[in-house]
Structure 1
Amino acid sequence: MIIARILILLPLVSANKPQFPLGIAVYANPEFDICHRDMRAVMETRDLKFFNSVIDKTRIYSWPLKNFKSDIESLHNSPLFQLVRKMPKGAALHIHHKAMVNTDWLYLQTYRTNLYVCDKHNHLSLKFFKTPSNDCNWQALYERRRNPLVRQVLEDRIRRQMTMLTEIPDRSDTNVLWEKFQNIFTFLRSFLNYRPLAEDHFYQGLLELYEDNVMYVEVRSGLQKLYDLDGKIYTTTETVNILHDVVTRFKADHPDFIGAKIIYAKSRDMDHDELRSFLHETVELKKMFPGFIAGADLVGHEDAGYKLKDHSSLLLEVSNWTDFFFHAGETQNFLLQPTNLQIAIRHNAKRIGHAYSITKEPDTLRELKEKNIPVEVCPISNQVLGLVSNLRNHQAAILFALDIPVVISNDDPGLWGAKGLSDDFYMTLMSILPMNANLYSLKKIARNSIIYSTLSENEKAAALDSYEKRWQQFLINVTMPFCDYTQVMYSWLTLDRNTW
Structure 2
Amino acid sequence: MAPLPFLHGLQVTVLSVLLLCWAGVCGGSPDPRHRDSLIQQEASRQTGGTVLLTEAERRLSTHLHKLKRQEVEGPQFPPAMHFFKARPFIQRSPVFKLLQKMPKGAALHVHSFSLVGVDWLVKNVTYRPLCYICFTLTQSVRFVFSATQPRPLPYCSSWVLLETLRAKVDNTSDLDHSLMQNLTLFTGDPDSAYPSQDTVWDRFEESFSAASGLISHVPVFKDYFYQGLKQFYMDNVMYLELRSGVALTYELDGSTHGRAWCLKTFQDVTRMFVKDYPDFLGTRIILSVNRGLNVSEVKAVVEEAIHLQEEFPEVMAGFDLVGREDRGRPLWYFREALSLPAERGVTLPYFFHAGETDWEGRDVDENLLDALLFNTSRIGHGFALTRHPLAKELSRKRGVAVEVCPISNQVLGFVSDLRNHPAAVLLLEGQPMVISSDDPASFGAAGLSYDFYEAFVGLGGMSAHLGTLKELALNSIRYSSLSPQLKDKALALWQRKWDQFISENLQ
Asked if the contact 2:399/2:432 (under 8 Å) is kept, the reply is yes
Secondary structure of 2:80 counterpart = coil
Map of 2:37 onto structure 1: none
Secondary structure of 2:250 counterpart = coil
Map of 2:73 onto structure 1: 57
In 2, Cα distance between the equivalents of 1:140 and 1:386?
36
1:244-291: CA deviation from partner (whole Å, max 9, x where unpaired): 111010000000101000000110111122111111111111000011
In 2, Cα distance between the equivalents of 1:102 and 1:261?
21
Map of 2:45 onto structure 1: 21
1:193-223: CA deviation from partner (whole Å, max 9, x where unpaired): 0011110000011001100110101000010
Letter in 2 for 1:247: T
In 2, Cα distance between the equivalents of 1:150 and 1:309?
52
Match of 2:408 among 375, 381, 395: 381
Map of 2:284 onto structure 1: 261
Map of 2:219 onto structure 1: 196
Could you tell me how far 1:157 is from its partner in structure 2? 2.9
340 and 167 in structure 1: CA distance in 2 versus 1, 3 angstrom threshold: farther
Map of 1:247 onto structure 2: 270
Map of 1:412 onto structure 2: 439
TM-score (normalised: structure 2): 0.86
Map of 1:126 onto structure 2: 143
Secondary structure of 1:435 counterpart = helix
> Is 1:212 matched up with 2:212?
no
Matches within 5 A, 1:79-478: 79-108=94-123, 109-121=125-137, 122-136=139-153, 137-148=158-169, 151=172, 154-166=175-187, 168-170=189-191, 171=194, 173-319=196-342, 320-337=346-363, 339-478=366-505
Letter in 1 for 2:152: D
Map of 1:41 onto structure 2: 59
28 and 345 in structure 1: CA distance in 2 versus 1, 3 angstrom threshold: closer
Secondary structure of 1:388 counterpart = coil
Asked if the contact 1:325/1:352 (under 8 Å) is kept, the reply is yes
Which is further off, 253-262 or 392-401? 392-401
TM-score (normalised: structure 1): 0.87
48 and 185 in structure 1: CA distance in 2 versus 1, 3 angstrom threshold: same
Which is further off, 92-101 or 225-234? 225-234
Could you tell me how far 1:74 is from its partner in structure 2? 2.3
Could you tell me how far 1:159 is from its partner in structure 2? 1.4
Secondary structure of 2:319 counterpart = strand
Asked if the contact 2:291/2:321 (under 8 Å) is kept, the reply is yes
Secondary structure of 1:469 counterpart = helix
Secondary structure of 1:263 counterpart = strand
In 2, Cα distance between the equivalents of 1:215 and 1:283?
27
In 2, Cα distance between the equivalents of 1:276 and 1:452?
27
In 1, Cα distance between the equivalents of 2:117 and 2:325?
26
Could you tell me how far 1:433 is from its partner in structure 2? 1.4
Could you tell me how far 1:172 is from its partner in structure 2? 5.2
Could you tell me how far 1:27 is from its partner in structure 2? 4.1
Could you tell me how far 1:49 is from its partner in structure 2? 7.1
In 2, Cα distance between the equivalents of 1:378 and 1:113?
37
47 and 474 in structure 1: CA distance in 2 versus 1, 3 angstrom threshold: closer
406 and 27 in structure 1: CA distance in 2 versus 1, 3 angstrom threshold: closer
Secondary structure of 2:410 counterpart = helix
Could you tell me how far 1:361 is from its partner in structure 2? 1.4
Secondary structure of 1:44 counterpart = helix
396 and 286 in structure 1: CA distance in 2 versus 1, 3 angstrom threshold: same
In 2, Cα distance between the equivalents of 1:214 and 1:142?
36
Could you tell me how far 1:107 is from its partner in structure 2? 1.4
Letter in 2 for 1:349: T
117 and 360 in structure 1: CA distance in 2 versus 1, 3 angstrom threshold: same
Asked if the contact 2:68/2:462 (under 8 Å) is kept, the reply is no
Asked if the contact 1:377/1:406 (under 8 Å) is kept, the reply is yes
282 and 50 in structure 1: CA distance in 2 versus 1, 3 angstrom threshold: closer
Asked if the contact 1:144/1:150 (under 8 Å) is kept, the reply is no
Asked if the contact 2:284/2:317 (under 8 Å) is kept, the reply is yes
Secondary structure of 1:220 counterpart = strand
In 2, Cα distance between the equivalents of 1:334 and 1:45?
41
Letter in 2 for 1:438: H
Letter in 2 for 1:227: Y
Secondary structure of 1:218 counterpart = strand
- What percentage of aligned pairs have identical amino acids? 35
Could you tell me how far 1:186 is from its partner in structure 2? 0.7
Map of 2:18 onto structure 1: none
Letter in 1 for 2:240: V
Could you tell me how far 1:133 is from its partner in structure 2? 2.0
In 1, Cα distance between the equivalents of 2:136 and 2:464?
51
Asked if the contact 2:266/2:315 (under 8 Å) is kept, the reply is no
Secondary structure of 2:238 counterpart = strand
Could you tell me how far 1:50 is from its partner in structure 2? 5.9
Secondary structure of 2:396 counterpart = helix
372 and 131 in structure 1: CA distance in 2 versus 1, 3 angstrom threshold: same
Could you tell me how far 1:434 is from its partner in structure 2? 4.4
Letter in 1 for 2:287: Y
1:110-157: CA deviation from partner (whole Å, max 9, x where unpaired): 111110111231331111011122324211101101112585664343
Asked if the contact 1:447/1:464 (under 8 Å) is kept, the reply is yes
Letter in 2 for 1:391: L
Could you tell me how far 1:47 is from its partner in structure 2? 4.3
Q: Which runs of 5+ in 2 are unaligned?
A: 1-39
Asked if the contact 1:45/1:439 (under 8 Å) is kept, the reply is no
In 1, Cα distance between the equivalents of 2:173 and 2:210?
19
Asked if the contact 1:46/1:437 (under 8 Å) is kept, the reply is no
